[in-house]
Amino acid sequence: MAFQNLLTEDRGAVRVITVNRPDKLNALNRATLTELHLAFDQAAADDAIRAVVLRGAGEKAFVAGADIAELAGLSAVQARDLSRHGQRLMSKVERLGKPVIAMIGGWALGGGLELAMCCHLRVASEKAKLGLPEITLGVLPGFGGTQRLLRLAGRGAALELTLTGAPIDAARAHALGLVTRVVAPDQLEAETMKLAEQLATLAPQAVRAILDTVLVGGESAIDVGLEFETQAFGVCFSTEDMREGTTAFLEKRKPAFSGR
C-alpha cells in the first residue's frame, strides 16, 4: 500500500523504512505511528526480508520527537491511549524476530529516541544528538523511554537524561551503550547498510532465537534465561540451516541459508 508518512524500499533482503515528514523533522503523530505498525507487520510477514533499517528523511533528524501540536490538545484519557499505541509499536519492533537497525543521522529526541531504543542495533552519525526532553513539557516519556533507557544505559544515565531533558552527543551515547556504533556522517548510510546486509545473510531461525533469548534473558532471572537458551539451542539443531552451516564450515565454503 502507499503510505502518507513513510517510504519503504527493498534492497535485496533488507527493507528500508523511512519516516518521511522532513518538514516536521519526522515527528511522530498518531497517523505515522499507525503506518509504522503496518510497515513492521509487512516486514515481519515477508519471508524474503531478513533485516530492516529504520531511518528518517532528510539530514536534520532521525525522528525529532512526538508531534507537539497534536499532543497539546490531548485529554488525560487520550494521552494514555496514545502512550499505549506507541508502546505497542515499540514492543512490536523489539519482538519482530528480524534484526532492526536504527540509522540515526541527526536529532533523535523524545519519541524518536524511544523508537531508536526499541531497535536491536543503533548506528549513529558523529553529528547525532539524542535525548528525552519530555520533562521540559511537563510530562515524561510515554512510549517506553524510561524503561528501555534504564535497561540500556543504567539507572544513573536514565535519571540524568529524563530529569534534565538535555540531549547528549553520539560519543557520549556510545559510551553509555545507548548506540552501538558511531560513524562519520558521510559513511552513515553505507556502514548501516553493510551491517544490515551482513545480518541478512545469516540463518533466520538462529537470528530470531538470539533476539528472543536476549530479550527474555534481559527480563528474567538468570536460571530462566539459561533454560530458554538451552531450549532455543536444541531447536536450532532441528533446522536445515544448522546442517547447512556445519556442512559449509567443514567444506570450507560460505553457507547458503534457506530459513528452514
Residue type, 72: A
User: pLDDT tens digit string along 52-110?
Assistant: 999 999 989 999 988 888 888 899 999 999 999 999 999 999 999 999 999 999 999 99
Separation between Cα atoms, residue 112 and residue 108, nearest integer Å: 5
Which residue is listed with cell 509504522?
A: 36
User: pLDDT tens digit string along 162-176?
Assistant: 999 999 999 999 999
Please, which pLDDT band fits residue 228 given cuts at 50, 70 and 90? very high
Q: What is the mean pLDDT of residues 13-30?
A: 95
The pLDDT value given to residue 56: 97
Which residue is listed with cell 533488507?
A: 14
**Which amino acids are annotated catalytic?**
114, 134
DSSP bridge partners of 129: 107, 169
Set out the domains of the chain in order of their start, with CATH numbers.
Answer: 6-200 (3.90.226.10), 204-250 (1.10.12.10)
Q: Is the pLDDT of residue 29 over 90?
A: yes
Q: Is the pLDDT of residue 1 over 70?
A: no
pTM for the whole structure:
0.94
